[in-house]
């Protein structure tokens, strides 16, 4: 079981869109970055991820689950780009802002802090537990 973090601009694709897709989930397409793609290739069904809103809000708002493993990205013919499908599991009771993450000495190693621009990031079990605690949900 691994943990991840997905970033999206909420005015393009936000948590509400994700929730509206229900259990069927949705392709996390459009990623054109090798490191982010490699992270998706490493994902297994049942892995969990945080859903982060960049630009607007700048906060972790919910938890998603991988519901389809890596497959070709349907939005391009370029064979380099794969993606997974994710579905919304539940919102955080309280969003965890980027400022909170940056201010928490236990979270200084998070990719969200150290690799700010990476759009699909790994999260450690420890970080998962801490952020869930801040967000008011069970890990």
Residue 138 beta carbon to DNA: minimum distance, rounded to whole angstroms: 26
Q: What does the binding site for DNA look like in residue numbers (CB under 7 A)?
A: 7, 9, 32-35, 54-55, 58, 98-99, 102, 115-119
- Written in H, E and C, the secondary structure of 38-67 is HHHHCCCCCCEEEEEECCCCCEEEEEEEEE
Q: Please, which residue, 54 or 124, has the CB nearer to DNA?
A: 54
Nearer to DNA by Cβ, of 45 and 99: the residue is 99
Q: Where are the beta strands (DSSP E) in 43-136?
A: 48-53, 59-72, 82-97, 120-123
In the bound state with DNA, the residue whose beta carbon lies nearer, of 23 and 59, is 59
Shortest gap between Cβ of 98 and DNA (angstroms)? Answer: 6
Whole-angstrom Cα distance, residue 123 to residue 99?
17
Beta bridge partners of 7: 52
CB of 95 to DNA, least distance (A): 13
- β-pairing, 48-53 vs 3-8, is parallel
| Pick 108 or 139: Cβ nearer DNA | 108
CB of 6 to DNA, least distance (A): 10
């Amino acid at each position: 079981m691994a943990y991840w973090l997905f970033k999206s601009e909420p005015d393009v694709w936000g948590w509400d869109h994700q929730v509206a897709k229900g259990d069927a989930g949705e392709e996390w397409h459009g990623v054109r970055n090798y490191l982010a793609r490699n992270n998706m290739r490493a994902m297994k069904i049942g892995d969990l991820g945080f859903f982060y809103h960049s630009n607007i809000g700048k906060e972790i708002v919910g938890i998603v689950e991988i519901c389809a493993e890596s497959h070709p990205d349907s939005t391009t013919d370029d064979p380099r780009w794969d993606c997974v499908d994710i579905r919304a599991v539940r919102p955080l009771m309280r969003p965890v802002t980027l400022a909170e993450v940056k201010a928490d000495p236990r979270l200084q190693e998070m990719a969200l802090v150290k690799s700010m621009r990476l759009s699909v990031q790994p999260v450690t079990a420890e970080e998962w537990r801490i952020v869930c605690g801040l967000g008011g949900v069970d890990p």
